[in-house]
């Protein structure tokens, strides 16, 4: 009984102490807070929070957050995390520019001095600006002069009198650019060797691709049809004729090789002998076309050859000395959800520019020049005074992250070159592009005006027509 009274007294004392604590909390804060004192750490790909002047919410955190970063306050009426008080600029006129959407911007001169910095340490979806990373990783791994070989083998014997190859024709290679015109070129080379008929099968390895297909069986079927003039489509014939014009070649006869057997996908046998290899245009030309047209298939294929997007990210992080939390990608093309800070993209641009210079190249060798090159920048910065003054990479996602548009690269002005990164998110793509155009023009105006880069255009079809045939004894037949 005494024990029960003692326990009951202790219970009432605990309840009373709790009531007193609650009372003091309400009197001090006006309400009882249900939030934990130490909130859990936010995940990497959390929803992005947009602040305004009237809120005291904590700053956005994620892939680009740093402990040293200060909260950014938005200008009243703007949906961007950046505002006048958050910007750093060497030109007062840039401090009052209204920035649409959730945006991050970083513009620097070649010495690293800031021209405009707005939320450059926050993560954004860079869209197809990811292709800049893929291009950098590819150049690091393969070099600008690398050519993809597509090799042709046989286990048979050629009868010159009838032009018949008794045996199978094997094909191996992973050239992402191999297309109909190249298949006709292979038929022409076989004809030159005396081959017009093959009694066996056409056998391709599982990494063979043709006409931007990822299916080896489909690619093999397409190769068989295009090599045979009787089965060749009108589109393949046009591609071949365009190739002849671009490469300045002439063809007296119509190339044709008929295969009697079927198409199979399997590994090369040990008794197959190498006949010749068809080599693609150099890597620099492939990258130029990939970035000009923002080709997702080529970007993904090139990324896969390196080990996928995570391998691309690792090469970029190491080469650009970029923290992993500032550069996180899930695709090599920029499709889907990726997170990169403008600051990280600026480091990547500098690393890429340095590597290109070592090979006596510049951004214009692999990226589209606005108003000149065909592709995504063909109709932008194309006025008489701006044409040829901007080289860079666009990025567009109509629905992902509420609408994304990006632009990054190099600006030429009368007072020097600038590197720039513009990430716009959560808004209309057309509005974002108009903002990017006006901002770049405004910056050029503050730097003495736009001036062309002295770029000499080489049509993209001509670039890709620099393929060649090589033989095991290292002899090369280049567009003969």
| Per-residue pLDDT at 28 exceeds 90 | no
pLDDT confidence of residue 478: 53
pLDDT confidence of residue 473: 78
pLDDT band at 38 (very low <50, low <70, confident <90, very high): very low
Tell me the CA end-to-end span of the chain in Å, nearest whole number.
110
pLDDT band at 271 (very low <50, low <70, confident <90, very high): very high
**Which of these ranges, 68-77, 289-298, 433-442, 467-476, has the smallest mean pLDDT?**
68-77
State what percent of residues in the chain have pLDDT above 70. Answer: 81
pLDDT confidence of residue 475: 57
More confident residue, 238 or 69: 238
**Which of these ranges, 82-91, 243-252, 412-421, has the smallest mean pLDDT?**
82-91
Token readout for 193 is 């060797």
The whole model's pTM is what?
A: 0.81
State the architecture of 149-280 in CATH terms: 3-Layer(bba) Sandwich (3.50)
| Per-residue pLDDT at 350 exceeds 50 | yes
| Per-residue pLDDT at 423 exceeds 70 | yes
User: For all residues of the chain together, what is the average pLDDT?
Assistant: 85
Question: Cα–Cα distance between 102 and 50 in angstroms, integer?
Answer: 7
CB 320 within 8 A of CB 351: yes
| Per-residue pLDDT at 379 exceeds 50 | yes
Question: Cα–Cα distance between 421 and 345 in angstroms, integer?
Answer: 7
| Per-residue pLDDT at 150 exceeds 50 | yes
- The domain limits of the chain are 86-143+285-461, 149-280
pLDDT confidence of residue 90: 87
Please write the tens of the pLDDT for every residue from 188-243.
999 999 999 999 999 999 999 999 998 999 999 999 999 999 999 999 999 999 99
The residue length of the chain stands at 480
Angle, vertex CA 131, rays to CA 127 and CA 135, nearest 5? 165
Neighbouring residues of 136: CB distance < 8 A, sequence distance ≥ 6: 315, 316, 319, 320, 348, 351, 352, 355
In this prediction, residues 262-285 reach a mean pLDDT of 97
Distances (CA, A) of 141 to 14, 146, 296, 327: 68, 10, 20, 19
In this prediction, residues 438-464 reach a mean pLDDT of 96
State what percent of residues in the chain have pLDDT above 90. Answer: 78
Distances (CA, A) of 4 to 12, 14, 315: 12, 15, 70
pLDDT confidence of residue 10: 45
| Per-residue pLDDT at 4 exceeds 50 | no
CB 305 within 8 A of CB 29: no
Cβ-count burial 304-324 (b if 16+ within 10 Å, e if not):
bbbeebebbbebbbebbebee
pLDDT band at 65 (very low <50, low <70, confident <90, very high): very low
Most confident of 34-38, 443-447, 475-479: 443-447
In this prediction, residues 465-474 reach a mean pLDDT of 91
State the architecture of 86-143+285-461 in CATH terms: 3-Layer(aba) Sandwich (3.40)
More confident residue, 79 or 337: 337
């Amino acid at each position: 009984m005494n024990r029960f009274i003692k326990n009951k007294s202790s219970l009432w004392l605990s309840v009373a102490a709790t009531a007193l604590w609650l009372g003091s909390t309400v009197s001090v804060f006006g309400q009882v807070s249900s939030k934990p004192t130490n909130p859990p750490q936010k995940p990497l790909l959390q929803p992005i929070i947009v602040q305004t002047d009237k809120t005291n919410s904590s700053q956005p955190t994620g892939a680009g957050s740093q402990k040293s970063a200060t909260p950014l306050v938005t200008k009243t009426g703007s949906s961007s995390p950046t505002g006048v008080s958050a910007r750093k600029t060497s030109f007062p006129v840039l401090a009052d520019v209204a920035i649409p959407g959730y945006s991050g911007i970083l513009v620097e001169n070649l010495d690293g001095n800031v021209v405009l910095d707005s939320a450059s340490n926050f993560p954004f979806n860079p869209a197809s600006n990811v292709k800049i990373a893929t291009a950098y990783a590819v150049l690091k791994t393969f070099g600008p002069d690398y050519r993809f070989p597509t090799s042709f083998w046989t286990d048979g014997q050629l009868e010159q009198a009838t032009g018949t190859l008794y045996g199978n024709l094997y094909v191996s290679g992973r050239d992402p650019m191999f297309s109909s015109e190249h298949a006709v070129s292979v038929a022409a080379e076989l004809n030159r060797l005396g081959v017009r008929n093959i009694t066996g099968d056409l056998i391709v390895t599982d990494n063979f691709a043709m006409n931007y297909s990822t299916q080896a069986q489909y690619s093999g079927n397409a190769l068989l049809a295009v090599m045979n003039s009787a089965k060749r489509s009108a589109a393949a014939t046009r591609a071949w004729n365009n190739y002849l014009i671009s490469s300045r070649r002439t063809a007296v006869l119509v190339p044709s090789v008929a295969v009697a057997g079927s198409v199979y996908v399997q590994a090369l046998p040990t008794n197959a002998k190498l006949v010749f290899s068809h080599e693609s245009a150099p890597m620099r030309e492939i990258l130029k076309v990939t970035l000009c047209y923002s080709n997702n298939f080529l970007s993904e294929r090139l990324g896969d050859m390196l080990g996928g997007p995570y391998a691309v990210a690792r090469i970029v992080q190491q080469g650009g000395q970029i923290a992993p939390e500032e550069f996180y990608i899930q695709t090599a093309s920029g499709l889907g959800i990726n997170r990169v800070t403008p600051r990280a993209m600026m480091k990547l641009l500098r690393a890429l520019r340095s590597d290109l210079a070592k090979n006596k190249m510049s951004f214009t060798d692999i990226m589209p020049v606005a108003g000149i090159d065909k592709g995504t920048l063909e109709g932008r910065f194309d006025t008489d005074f701006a044409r040829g003054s901007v080289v860079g990479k666009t990025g567009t996602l109509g629905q992902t992250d509420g609408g994304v548009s990006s632009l990054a690269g190099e600006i030429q002005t009368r007072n020097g070159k600038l590197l720039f990164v513009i990430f716009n998110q959560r808004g209309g793509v057309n509005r974002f592009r108009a903002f990017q155009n006006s901002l770049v023009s405004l910056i050029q105006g503050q730097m003495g005006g736009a001036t062309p880069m002295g770029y000499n255009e080489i049509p993209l079809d001509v670039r890709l027509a620099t393929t060649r045939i090589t033989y095991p004894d290292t002899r090369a037949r280049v567009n003969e």
